[in-house]
């Protein structure tokens, strides 16, 4: 880790007379509103002070600040820096501090908005993204993955030149897929590349391009559907996990509530992360999901155990914040909504805390489906609770329904049954 300049007074002195002086109070307020720790606060001020000194010596104007200038400061100046006093050299701290500075300056209209790349490939991807969003209704994560793969194809074929779909040859598509497939550990996982490319070529067909031949050269790798059993917790492991909840410790109330949402309601990580205080009707005992994979609102009953865990978190552990998200960050940026990654991390920590050798958060959703089947629920009822669009998606759980399977099982040859 690098260190900061010698004193807070040195920071303020430089900031007060440099090109950033009119905006420093707003920058400090920006950091204060996000509850940054005192040490982080001081480090960020030190970085901005150094940046202001560098700008002053090079006689740079405030309007020249952008990502390129920040990159020049970090990549070119820092390795050869001989500025007076100790300076911060940790790249993550430098990038974070100056990234916040860019946000503050743009919010105040002091510098130009971030530039948007305008190569022909970028413009094509923006049009395709709008199509996936407004016509196909695909989720942001799905669109992001498709754009990444299609973007690689367009850049590898056209670079910065105009995009001419008719110029793409079938053999080029085959070679591109062969290269992309090497990035995946399992052949079946490369199906993502096939789906993304086929989706894009179908979009071009809808525009009148004759690219059906490109779709024809793309075939999915072998992937036998329903060939494996969904992994679930045993009843003993569920009890072990539940008994480990409710213990004192850092952020454990939040972890308890997150685990309950996954285990009792079968919610996905992203759905848990997006729960708002306005989505819970405590009197009616319901919770509304507004950011689901199916992009629709779903109202579910709120089990007493889940509601109690959420209430305990809200009353005893959740930081004071104006944000309406139920689950928020406990560290910088404090009070901001958690993401799906943090939800998955919390569930992994819950498994470890309970002494269970698991890491996948989706395991709790599978477990919830298995418990419903064991309790006598039909596959249609399980599909409704899990909010599957198609019953085919739920069919994988048929293998877990030992009650129904025993009714159709044949006797073992030679047995008396």
- Give the residue numbers annotated as catalytic, written as ranges: 268, 293, 362, 365, 388, 397
| CA distances (Å), origin 324, targets 15, 138, 307, 350, 367 | 35, 26, 17, 25, 30
What order do you get walking across the sheet with 286-289 strand by strand?
280-281, 286-289, 298-301
Contact assessment for residue 99 and residue 71, using Cβ atoms and an 8 Å cutoff: no
Label the pairing between strands 298-301 and 280-281: unpaired
**What is the rounded distance in angstroms from the CA atom of residue 288 to the CA atom of residue 291?**
9
Phi and psi (nearest 5°) for 357? -85, 45
DSSP 72-116: HIIIIIGGG---SS-----HHHHHHHHHHHHHHHHHTTSSPPPP-
**Helix crossing, 120-134 with 140-158: angle to 10°?**
150
State whether residue 337 is helix, strand or coil.
strand
| Long-range contact pairs involving 10-14 (C-beta distance under 8 Å, separation at least 24) | 10/49, 10/85, 11/42, 11/45, 11/46, 11/48, 11/49, 12/45, 14/49, 14/52, 14/53
């Amino acid at each position: 880790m690098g260190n900061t300049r010698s004193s807070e007074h040195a920071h303020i002195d430089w900031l007060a007379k440099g090109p950033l002086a009119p905006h420093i109070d707003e920058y400090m307020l920006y950091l204060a509103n996000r509850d940054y720790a005192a040490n982080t606060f001081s480090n960020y001020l030190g970085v901005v002070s150094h940046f202001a000194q560098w700008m002053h010596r090079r006689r740079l104007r405030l309007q020249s600040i952008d990502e390129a200038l920040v990159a020049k400061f970090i990549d070119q100046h820092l390795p050869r820096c001989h500025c007076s006093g100790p300076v911060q050299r940790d790249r993550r701290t430098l990038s974070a501090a100056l990234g916040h500075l860019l946000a503050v300056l743009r919010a105040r209209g002091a510098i130009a908005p971030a530039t948007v790349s305008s190569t022909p490939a970028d413009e094509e991807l923006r049009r395709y993204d709008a199509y996936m969003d407004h016509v196909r209704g695909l989720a942001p994560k799905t669109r992001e993955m498709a754009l990444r793969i299609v973007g690689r194809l367009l850049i590898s074929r056209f670079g910065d030149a105009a995009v001419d779909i008719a110029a793409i040859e079938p053999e080029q598509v085959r070679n591109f897929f062969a290269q992309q497939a090497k990035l995946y550990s399992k052949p079946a996982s490369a199906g993502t590349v096939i789906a993304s490319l086929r989706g894009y070529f179908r979009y071009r067909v809808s525009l009148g391009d004759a690219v059906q031949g490109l779709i024809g050269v793309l075939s999915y790798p072998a992937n036998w559907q329903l060939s494996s059993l969904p992994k679930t917790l045993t009843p003993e492991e569920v009890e072990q996990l539940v008994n480990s909840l409710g213990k004192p410790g850092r952020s454990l109330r939040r972890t308890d509530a997150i685990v309950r949402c996954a285990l009792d309601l079968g919610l996905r990580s992203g759905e848990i992360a997006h729960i708002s205080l306005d989505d819970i009707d405590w009197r009616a005992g319901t919770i509304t999901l507004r950011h689901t994979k199916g992009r629709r609102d779903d109202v579910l009953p709120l089990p007493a155990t889940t509601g109690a865990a959420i209430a305990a978190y809200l009353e005893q552990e959740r930081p004071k914040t104006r944000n309406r998200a139920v689950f928020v960050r406990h560290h910088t940026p404090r009070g901001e909504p958690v993401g799906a990654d943090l939800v998955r991390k919390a569930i992994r920590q819950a498994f470890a805390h309970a002494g269970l050798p698991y890491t996948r958060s989706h395991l709790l959703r599978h477990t919830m489906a298995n418990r419903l089947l064991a309790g006598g629920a039909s596959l249609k009822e399980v599909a409704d609770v899990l909010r599957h669009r198609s019953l085919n998606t739920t069919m994988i759980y048929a293998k877990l329904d030992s009650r129904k399977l025993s009714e159709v099982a044949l006797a073992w040859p030679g047995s008396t049954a």
